[in-house]
Structure formats: structure tokens, C-alpha cells
Chain A
Amino acid sequence: MKNAFQLFTTFFKIGAFTLGGGYAMLSMVEKAVVDQKKWIASDEFWDLIAIVQSLPGVFAVNTALYVGHKIAGKRGAVAAMLGAIIPSIVIILLLATVFREYRELPVVERIFKGIRPCVVALILAPSLRMIKSAKITWKTAVIPIAAVVLIWWLRVSPAWVILAAIVGSLVYALVIEKKSKKKEVES
């Protein structure tokens, strides 16, 4: 019980004070859980993160659930998750109430007129960095281009694009596996 409460406060602090989203929270979680509290060994922690990163959903929530469960079972998982998200919910609720009240004010409108094009840049830049890190060749460049055309131009739901990409990756993985098995048999 004590552990579950400690998990809650640990993740609450991280949720309340870490700017920059889930990935920024990760290093804070490592610091708290591995270095300070010594609840998990470093290599075990990174093994967990490798799995969590490949799952869909909120990265910080997945991390909290996983670490919480490892340390204090189901109760720990729930405690860590609530700690990670409650600060966000409270802060955004307060801000949204205030912002929706005052967004018509000329001063606020002027500030946000400057901010909006910046937000667009902040979305485009990481997507291009992702393309770079995915080591896309002329052949595979078809995939992101098709995604852009489908979503932006033809207004297809991104959900379908993700589903199609999942099916495509699975088929591709199966074909590769079969080919390598065939080679093994032949040789």
C-alpha cells in the first residue's frame, strides 16, 4: 500500500513539472525510479521501455502502468497511471476554462495569430525528422507520400491509413520470413 502511494506521488510530481510530453517524462521517470528510489535495475527498466515504446497509446501512461505493475502489482499500475495524468487534466481544465473565456480579447488574439504558424512548423519539423530517421529510400518514399495524399488531399481518415500500414508491415514481415526459411531449406 505504501508503495502504491509512493508511486502515485512520484508520477504525480513528474506529471506536474515535466514540460515536453511523454519522452521528456521518460528521463525523469528513470531518475526517480532507477537512480533515487532504486525500485528497478537500470537494464530491466530499459527492457521495459523498449516494449512500452512499441505499443500504441499514450507513451507516458504505458510507462507508468508498466513500471507501476512491476513495483506494486495492479494497485501500483493504477496509482502510477493516475499520478501521471491527473496533473495534466487539472491544469488543462483550468487553462481551457480561462482561455475559452478570454480568447476573443484582442490582445490574446494578436498573440495567438503569431503562435499558429509556429505550431504548424512544430508539427512539420518532427515529421521530416522522422522520415530521415526511418531511412527512407526512393522505393519506400511511396509510403509517406501516399499517406499525405490520402489524408490531406482525399480526406481519408488517418485511422484507415494506420490500419493499412499495419497490414502492409505484417504481410511484408511474413514474406521476408518465408524467403529466409526457403533459403535455409535450399542450402
Chain B
Amino acid sequence: MIYLHLLWVFVKIGVLGFGGGYAMLSLIQHEVVDNYAWMTTTEFADMVAISQMTPGPISINMATYVGYTAGGFWGSLLASAALCLPSIIMVYLVMRLMTSKKSGLFMGNLLKGLKPAIAGLIFAAGLSMMNTQNFVQIGKGENNISIVICVLAFVASYFFKANPIILILLSGVVGFAVY
């Protein structure tokens, strides 16, 4: 049963995952944390960090991790394969049907139209992770290091385009030193 669920979830994500790994993050979070409860929200955050720090496509990393957590070794293979399956079919169809420039343009326009919604999707994924499980309070109220880390990382990433891997490593060091 778990294998059927994994297959269904990741095929769906492969079909609807417009706009790269981050857009898939929201879909994966909804299914994995809210729908099937294969992971807690902290496990999900840890998985995102690990997927970002390791080489390779982030969405394949996440699929493998989720699959392993939910269904062991075979679950991880199944989830990754399920995620690739729609791609294989779609690229095959595109090679056959969309050889003209015009149809490529159509898909490009569709993606452009989807962009605002996808941005909202990703933002919602971030908001859903802003909870008491992921943000630890030290003492009472004011002395909140989690918020400081989050704001600093946001500024570094948004305004200075800092390398995400370095930011994750740095906040790991801060966590080690403070908690």
C-alpha cells in the first residue's frame, strides 16, 4: 500500500512540478507532512537542508529521502523512478509533437503565466515551516535566536545572493555554539 501511495504522490509531483525543485517543495510538503504524515515538519526541514547540501538535482534528492523514510530501500528507488516517469513520457511527446518553434513558445508562455502562482506556492511552503517545531525559543519570548538566524539568512540570500550551502553550514555552527 505504501508503495502505491509513493508511486501516486511522485507521479503527480512529476506532472505538476512546473518551475524546478523549489516549486516541487510545496507539493512534496503537502503530501508528505500534511496528507500522509510520513514525516514531521522538523524532519522535512532537515531533509530540505540535506538535499540542498548534497550534489545532484534537489527534487531527486528529496524523492529518494522521502521514499526511504516511508518505504525503505525499495521505497526510495520507487519514489525517484516515479518522479522521473512523467518527464520521460513528456520529453518523448515533445520530441514527437513540438518540433516547431511556435509550440515551444506556447509552453514558454504557459510557464510565464504560472510563475506568480508558483511563487505563491513556494512562499506558502516557507510559511508553513515557520512553526514552534522549527523555531526554538530560548528563555521567554524576546531572546529568540531562531528568528535572528532566519532574518540574517534571508537578507544574505535575497539581497546578496549568498551561497545557500555556506548559509546552512554557518547556521549549523551557530546552532552548535548557542544551543
Contacts of B59 in A (CB 8 A): 21-22, 58
Quick one: which of B25-58 are within 8 Å of A by CB?
A: 25-27, 30, 34-35, 42, 45-46, 48-58
Contact B16–A92 (Cβ < 8 Å) = no
Nearest A residue to B101 via CB reads: A47
Contacts of A97 in B (CB 8 A): 68
Contact B95–A69 (Cβ < 8 Å) = yes
> Bound complex: CA of A111 vs CA of B179, how far in Å?
8
Contacts of A120 in B (CB 8 A): 45, 126, 129-130, 134-135, 150
Contacts of A143 in B (CB 8 A): 116-117, 120
Contact B60–A58 (Cβ < 8 Å) = yes
A157 located at the interface, meaning its Cβ lies under 8 Å from any Cβ of chain B in the complex = yes
Tell me how far the C-beta of B166 lies from the nearest C-beta in chain A, rounded to whole angstroms. Answer: 10
Tell me how far the C-beta of B134 lies from the nearest C-beta in chain A, rounded to whole angstroms. Answer: 4
A59 CB contact (under 8 Å) in B57, B95, B167, B168: B57
Contact A151–B46 (Cβ < 8 Å) = no
Contact A54–B176 (Cβ < 8 Å) = no
Contact B124–A118 (Cβ < 8 Å) = no
Q: How many of chain A's residues touch chain B, expressed as a range?
A: 35 or more
Contact A88–B61 (Cβ < 8 Å) = yes
Give how many A-B residue pairs fall within 8 Å (CB-CB). Answer: 361
A183 located at the interface, meaning its Cβ lies under 8 Å from any Cβ of chain B in the complex = no
B175 CB contact (under 8 Å) in A112, A131, A159, A172: A112
Contact A118–B119 (Cβ < 8 Å) = no
Contact B116–A134 (Cβ < 8 Å) = yes
A7 located at the interface, meaning its Cβ lies under 8 Å from any Cβ of chain B in the complex = no
Tell me how far the C-beta of A155 lies from the nearest C-beta in chain B, rounded to whole angstroms. Answer: 7
B15 located at the interface, meaning its Cβ lies under 8 Å from any Cβ of chain A in the complex = yes
Quick one: which of A131-174 are within 8 Å of B by CB?
A: 131, 133-134, 136, 140-141, 143-148, 150-152, 155, 157-159, 161-166, 168-170, 172-173
A71 located at the interface, meaning its Cβ lies under 8 Å from any Cβ of chain B in the complex = no
Contact B86–A57 (Cβ < 8 Å) = yes
Contact A129–B60 (Cβ < 8 Å) = no
> Bound complex: CA of A155 vs CA of B101, how far in Å?
39
Contact B175–A115 (Cβ < 8 Å) = yes
Contacts of A157 in B (CB 8 A): 30, 35
Knowing that A144-B117, A165-B117 touch, tell me 7 more A-B residue pairs with CB under 8 angstroms: A51-B104, A61-B83, A100-B69, A107-B176, A118-B171, A122-B153, A123-B125
B interface residues (Cβ-Cβ under 8 A, vs A): 12, 14-22, 25-27, 30, 34-35, 42, 45-46, 48-61, 64-65, 68-69, 73, 76-77, 80, 83-84, 86-88, 90-91, 94-95, 98, 104, 106-130, 134-136, 145-147, 149-154, 157-158, 164-165, 167-168, 170-176, 178-179
A interface residues (Cβ-Cβ under 8 A, vs B): 15-23, 25, 47, 50-62, 65-66, 69, 77, 81, 84-85, 87-89, 91-93, 95-97, 99-100, 103, 107, 109-131, 133-134, 136, 140-141, 143-148, 150-152, 155, 157-159, 161-166, 168-170, 172-173
Interface CB pairs A-B, < 8 A, 8 = A55-B87, A62-B90, A66-B91, A111-B176, A114-B178, A131-B116, A134-B115, A151-B128
